[in-house]
Structures are given as structure tokens and as C-alpha cells.
Chain A
Amino acid sequence: MEINFTHKQSAHCENGVVSNLMRYNGFEVSEPMVFGIGSGLLFCYLPFLKVNHAPVVTYRALPGTIFKRFAKRTGVKIKREKFNSPQKAKARLDENLEKNNPVGLQVGVYSLVYFPEEYRFHFNAHNMVVYGKKDGRYLISDPVMEEVTSLSEKELEKVRFAKGAFAPKGHMYYPIQFPEKLELKKAIVKGIKHTCKDMTAPVPIVGVKAIRKIAKLIRKWPEKKGIKTANHYLGQIVRMQEEIGTGGGGFRYIYGAFLQEASKVLENEQLSLLSKEITQIGDLWRDFAVDASRIYKNRSATKDAYNKVADQLAIIADKEEAFFKKLKKAV
């Protein structure tokens, strides 16, 4: 069977799944709107976790939280299921497809066959929609792909039951109840306030404080860890910032698009100006990536070069702090 589902590519997978599932159910909500209402923007340093033998920073909220917050703030109810047994997970998926209900799935990327080999790491927070089954293959709408694709039963089971950090355990989710009319105004304000609170939180590993912390660490890495490791760590920060699904600039551009749209919905001219400001901050993040890449490309950088990119991050931290304080007052 095949459900009449419209696939639309998005920058980020979770926003895209939510936006596409909402559209299927008759509500047109853009990707940036989902991201903004769901308070997707973040900066967080996770000192206790290592991925690919390097420390982890993230530019977005934890997997699953964007949809959770979006649903709560707009009055949508979602059903979520996790499974211990792959057979049960498959049976429940088939049941839903039988009932013409497309569902969102959390999957691991490592065994995702349609991704290029080089991009397949043990990252378990990817999202996709399954919208049918044809000749024993599941029909897949993966938001970061231009076109729809398909996976065999075995291939889908493998990505649904990938292991490691954030193991999906067959995680399946779909909206089950909707409000009569989507009330965006209040939801937008709530989403913005939450992001401002997170980004200016008095915690050393969250928000602008975490950016400053990373800047400090970068200055120390070459001496403490050696050039090779320092470059490996720096590369990982850039990869997290510009990995597929960020929309560029560590999600700052998607947030800019959100503020622009929000300024029209709320008829708040100030948000439009702030959209321009976060866009410029996004450009600074990209400048940082360019300069960082010069360091790890040459593999023989001076200590000065590390200090220079650390300075860039410190400036970004100051600008973001001022930005989120202004944004908080604007709504």
C-alpha cells in the first residue's frame, strides 16, 4: 500500500518529519516554524560524552524534544512507542501503514544504505517518515533527501535497532489529535522565551557560557593534547556545526528564517530586525569554520592560529548573549 504523502526536503530531519506529517494532516507549518516553536536552537558542550574519540558539542536541542515542545505548544497530541523486540516494532509499523497512517521513525545513520559511505557514522538521532510498503519494501520519506526512497525490511530493522548513544529502540511516533485551528502566536512566544532562557542559562556547559568554555579549551588543546588531537577536536566542532541537517551556520540561519516568519505572524517589526542580526551571527559561525579548517588542513598550525579561532568564538558568545537578551525583551 502507498499513502498519498507529499515529501518535501528540509534542512534538518526532525523539523522536516514534523512539518511533513503536519502537512499530511492538513496543517501547513514551515520547517523554521517547527524549529522555532520547538526551541530547537541551542549550544551545549557535553564533557562526559565522546563521539568519534572527540568531545561533543551540539548546536540543537536533544533528539525528540523539538517535536515534543512543538506539539505541546500548539495543542497537538503525539503517540510514541519504543520496542524491545524488532518483530513487534515491525508489526506495529505495518499496522499503522495498513490504516493509512504515515509514521515518523528515529533511526541510526551507520547502516542507512542510501547515505554515502563517508557520512555513515554511529549517529542515532536521524528521523524519517515511512509512508507505505510496496513489493516488500518500505517507502521512505527522508527529509534531508531531495526525493523519496525505499528500504528492505532487513535494512529498516537494522537502522531502527542501531545501538550506542541515543539508541532508537524502534522509536516510532505520529500525531493522533489536533486542535481545530493551529494557534501559532502564543506558541511562538513560548518557543522564543524558552530558547532565550537556555542560551543565557547560568550553567557552564549550556548556551553562551558553553561557547566561551569551548573557546577556552581550544586555546589549551594544542599544548595539552598535541596538535594532532587538537585538530581532530576542532574538526569535530566544525562537523557538528555544518553537518547535514543544520541548514548552515549551526542552525542560526534556520532560526533567522523563523524570526522573519514570526515577525509577520506577530506583526512585530523588531523580530524582523533580530532575524537580520542572527543571520550575521550565522555568518560569523561560518567564518569560524573557514579559519578552523585552515588550521586542520595544514596540520602544522602555530599557537596563534588556535588563539585566533578562540577569539572568534568569544566574540560570537558576546554577540549571542546580547542578541538573546534583546530577543527576550522583544516578545
Chain B
Amino acid sequence: MKKNEVPQDKSNLESANIKEMYYAVDENGEYTTELSTGWDPKTIALNNAIKDIEERTEKARQKVLQNTTSPIEYYMELHKMDIGILASYVGMWTWRVKRHFKPSVFKKLNKKTLQKYADIFEVSIEQLKDIDK
């Protein structure tokens, strides 16, 4: 890549005032660095990944409203987690976390366990129990 080919596309990096550093060659063939504001192929990939998470979150929200899953699954998706990551945050086996997705099991969870989840998702227990709060 030549220095003048380092992409300067619009991206969401701008909002945080970040520019990425690239290695590229100058007109004499010498390697140098150049800052980039973003690159479209990457921005599209990132936007797709975010859209995917939004879809997963919305699907989980609908499932909570239909009472086919517990709010824990919704908050997990909202925080871009999967079961493995959530399990390691709460310090439980994945099968236990999965069990807590069952609305009937979730209802019976004690305060201590609920608080653990609430702390990780940075919500109150009321919000944890009712996702619309």
C-alpha cells in the first residue's frame, strides 16, 4: 500500500476522535506511517456485526415479552455477550446460566444471585426483573 492510498473514508472512529495508524510506503519505496480516518469495507463489516447484535437483542426481548425466556438472556445479548462470557462474569457453569433463562427458574432465583446479574448488567434488580423499566 502506498502512503497516498491509505484510506480516508468516513467511519464511527471520528466520534471518538480516533485515527488509526497504518504502515505504508512513500514515493521512494521507504516504509512510513500514516493516520487513517477509516475504511469502508471494514466499516460495513462492523456495522453488520452491530446490526446482528441488535437483531439478537430484539429477538431476545420479544421472547421475554412472550415469557419464553428470562430477562437474563435479553441483557446478555444487550451487552454483546454469549453464555460463556456471561458465565465467567457471574462465576457459574454455563449450564446453570442457561437454566436461569427459564422463566420458571428465574422467578425462583434468590436475591443474591439476582444481584450478581444486576451488578454485571449495571441495572437494578427491578430493572433486571422487568426489562421495560
Contact = CB atoms under 8 A, between A and B. Distances in A.
Contact of B23 (A146, A247, A286, A290): A247
A27 interface: no
Interface in B17-33: 17-25, 29-31, 33
B33 A11 contact: yes
Contact of A11 (B23, B41, B42, B85): B23
A9 interface: yes
Contacts of B6: 248
Contacts of B21: 9-11, 144, 247
B15 interface: yes
Interface in A247-276: 247-249, 253-254, 256-257, 260-261, 275-276
A247 B1 CA distance: 11
A114 B16 contact: yes
B93 interface: no
A118 B46 contact: yes
A54 B48 CA distance: 13
Interface of A: 9-11, 32, 50, 52-53, 110, 114-116, 118-122, 144-146, 163-165, 167, 231-232, 235-236, 238-239, 242-244, 247-249, 253-254, 256-257, 260-261, 275-276, 279, 282-283, 286, 289-290, 292-293, 296-297
A169 B15 CA distance: 30
Interface in B97-113: none
Contact of A292 (B41, B53, B80): B41
B85 A248 contact: no
Contacts, number: 126
A163 B120 CA distance: 11
B3 to A, nearest CB: 11
B49 interface: yes
Contacts of A164: 81, 84-85, 88-89
A256 B31 contact: yes
Kindly list the 10 A-B residue pairs having the minimum CB-CB distance in the complex, ordered from nearest: A293-B41, A257-B31, A253-B23, A235-B45, A164-B85, A116-B16, A163-B88, A242-B42, A248-B22, A11-B21
Contacts of A231: 48
A116 B31 contact: no
Contacts of B19: 146
Interface of B: 1, 6, 12-13, 15-25, 29-31, 33, 35-36, 39-42, 44-50, 52-53, 79-82, 84-85, 88-89
B42 A239 contact: yes
B22 A276 contact: no
Nearest to A245: B20
A247 B18 contact: no
Contacts of B53: 52
Main DSSP-derived SS at the A contact region: helix
Contacts of A279: 1, 25
A114 to B, nearest CB: 7
A242 B1 contact: no
Nearest to B22: A248
B44 A297 contact: yes
B33 to A, nearest CB: 7
A165 B84 CA distance: 9
A260 B30 contact: yes
A32 B85 contact: no
Contact of A248 (B24, B49, B80): B24
Contact of B16 (A115, A292, A296): A115
A235 B23 CA distance: 23
Contacts of A256: 23, 25, 31
Contacts of A52: 49, 52-53, 80, 82
A238 B89 contact: no
A146 B18 CA distance: 7
A238 B23 contact: no
B49 A235 contact: yes
A9 B52 CA distance: 32
B41 A254 contact: no
14 contacts: A119-B13, A119-B46, A122-B80, A146-B17, A163-B85, A164-B88, A236-B49, A247-B22, A248-B36, A256-B23, A261-B31, A286-B1, A293-B44, A293-B45
